[in-house]
Structure 1
Amino acid sequence: MTSRHKDGADYVLTAKGLTKVFGGIRAVDNVDLSVRRNTIHALIGPNGAGKTTCFNLLSKFLTPSSGTIKYEGQDVTALPPATIARQGMVRSFQISAVFASMSVLENVRLALQRRVHGPSFDFWRSVKCLHALEDEAVSLLEEVGLADFLHARAADLPYGRKRALEIATTLALDPQLLLLDEPLAGMGQEDIGRTSDLIKRVAQTRTVLMVEHNLSVVATLSDQITVLARGAVLAEGDYAAVSQNPAVVEAYIGEPHDTYD
């Protein structure tokens, strides 16, 4: 079931009145958010804006104090991350989450087996099943530019390549909505360009919601941007619109021009 609004648009993820209170602090304050299908949607804001908390709420790693979250038209507010991951909403993390001692190929095969068979102990011992998934694993690694690193240990990959491997293991779960937590954090310019191109390719057949600090990347990649300030939505629109919004300009006075925290 899809979520079509009165404007006729098809939204894969929506939040209404999303609020998170820690003690007396409203880290996220009555946020409404709609992520259109087959777009790249960026969530940005200055220091302390509530981006990370909002992202953790949307990806179900935090429970909201109030408000609702719908994925594909279904209320998922109370569902755990593993359940919605099986339904196609999958998050990758700022810190690369791969098995360092395993090869690149083994990491992706294991992720594929988890998708097919679920989190059982067979996940660890079915070598025959792992080899049966090898063609799909190789195809995924080709998609993210790691075809030349199949048998390299994950621990030995350069940082940017590790992030590409993490995206490959995330794609192995067959997400329709991919949630990226600062996918370019800590990267050099070459890796930023390569990973930006990868995100563009991934988004050709999927929806992407990302928190990202690099303004030039946000400007280049994003179809839609939501700007948070003090836990609330300050502005929404494409880059041209939000970058000229007086409230956004005021919120970023004194902030670096090339990054957001």
Structure 2
Amino acid sequence: MTVYALETSGLTKQFAGFTAVSDVGLRVRRHTIHGLIGPNGAGKSTCFNLLTKFLAPTRGTILYEGADISRAGPAEVARMGLARSFQISAVFPHLTALENVRAALQRRRGESFDFWRSDRILKRYDADARALMAEVGLTGWEETLAGEMPYGRKRALELATTLALAPKMLLLDEPLAGLGQEDVGRIAALIKRAAEGRTVLMVEHNLNVVASLCDVITVLTRGKILAEGDYAAVSANPAVQQAYLGEMAEPAHV
């Protein structure tokens, strides 16, 4: 079995003559946390959407656990164990936190979102839903409407719903975006815990978190890979420092 959970070769995406991602060869080792970073306009979001199948590549291949998923759709790769979160929290705001996690558990088990079914049928998911909520620090928030939860708690809820799908690999799109300082450390710790026994690929701008969480970092600029390695190696790379205009010139203090 390959040691890589996700591999790309020659991955390219063009939009009306503009090349957003060019010949990217990415290899994400199984059971690691891999960071994808880069300055604004580097192609991170496009690359992420290619990997999560929300965009089709112009050319190139994507392998997940050795299987070619280049032309697969999002639902197909989700069934294979590849789950993504979004930069903007994606929960059902008019459902309670518990109902959100319960809906994800229903989906994992191949059932439709039958919210009108009897309480007896739906409540069979409650124990597992409560356990997942406890795992992400949401005990006591079960009956709160998701739309009324503080932003940091919504991000934790989104992580719980993602974990409810029992993914083998998590793809996280700026999981710390918009969080206050008091929530950053807590959500970062949740990501580290969720990564146990899984593979994680995350796009993130918070360099302190990247430094503390990621085993390997890939730096994109102008749609191409500029550098790759651990944080110490990447942050000391003169080309990376120039791309960030000094943003990474000094090591992060974590």
Amino acid at match of 2:231: Y
Q: SS of the counterpart of 1:117? A: coil
Q: Of 86, 105, 112, which residue of structure 2 is paired with 1:112?
A: 105
Shift of the 139–257 alpha-carbon distance from structure 1 to 2, 3 Å rule, reads farther
Q: Report the equivalent of 2:11.
A: 18
Please say if 1:132 is aligned against 2:124: yes
Whole-angstrom distance in 2 between the partners of 1:216 and 1:17: 30
Find out whether 1:101 has 2:94 as its counterpart: yes
With over 3 angstroms needed to count, the CA separation of the structure-2 counterparts of 1:47 and 1:255, relative to structure 1, is farther
TM-score, length of structure 2 as denominator length: 0.95
Q: Tell me the SS of whatever aligns to 1:55.
A: helix
On the 8 A contact 2:36/2:220 being kept in 1, the answer is: yes
- Paired residue type of 1:113: Q
Q: Is the 8 A contact 2:93 2:146 kept in 1?
A: yes
Are the counterparts in 2 of residues 117 and 123 from structure 1 also a CA contact under 8 Å?
A: no
Task: Map 1:50-129 onto structure 2 (within 5 A).
Answer: 50-118=43-111, 120=112, 122=114, 124-125=116-117, 127-129=119-121
Residue 121 of structure 1 deviates from its aligned partner by 5.8
- Within 5 A, what are the aligned runs for 1:1-261? 2=1, 4=2, 10-118=3-111, 120=112, 122=114, 124-125=116-117, 127-253=119-245, 255=247
Contact 1:215–1:257 at 8 Å: present in 2 too? no
| Post-superposition offset of 1:25 | 1.0
The Cα shift of 1:113 comes to 0.5
Any stretches of 5+ residues in structure 1 without a counterpart?
A: 5-9
- Quote how far apart the aligned CAs of 1:168 are: 0.5
Shift of 1:125: 2.8
For the structure 1 residues 124 and 52, does the alpha-carbon distance in structure 2 shift closer, same or farther, using more than 3 Å as the test? Answer: farther
The number of equivalent residue pairs is 250
Q: Distance in 1 between matches of 2:200 and 2:44?
A: 16
How far, CA to CA, are the matches of 2:13 and 2:234 in structure 1?
Answer: 25
- The SS at the match of 1:148 is coil
- SS of the aligned residue for 1:90 comes to strand
Q: Distance in 2 between matches of 1:256 and 1:226?
A: 14
What is the CA-CA distance between 1:127 and the residue it aligns to?
Answer: 3.6
| Matching residue's letter, 1:198 | L
Q: Which runs of 5+ in 2 are unaligned?
A: none
> How far did 1:117 drift?
2.2
Q: Secondary structure at the match of 1:125?
A: coil
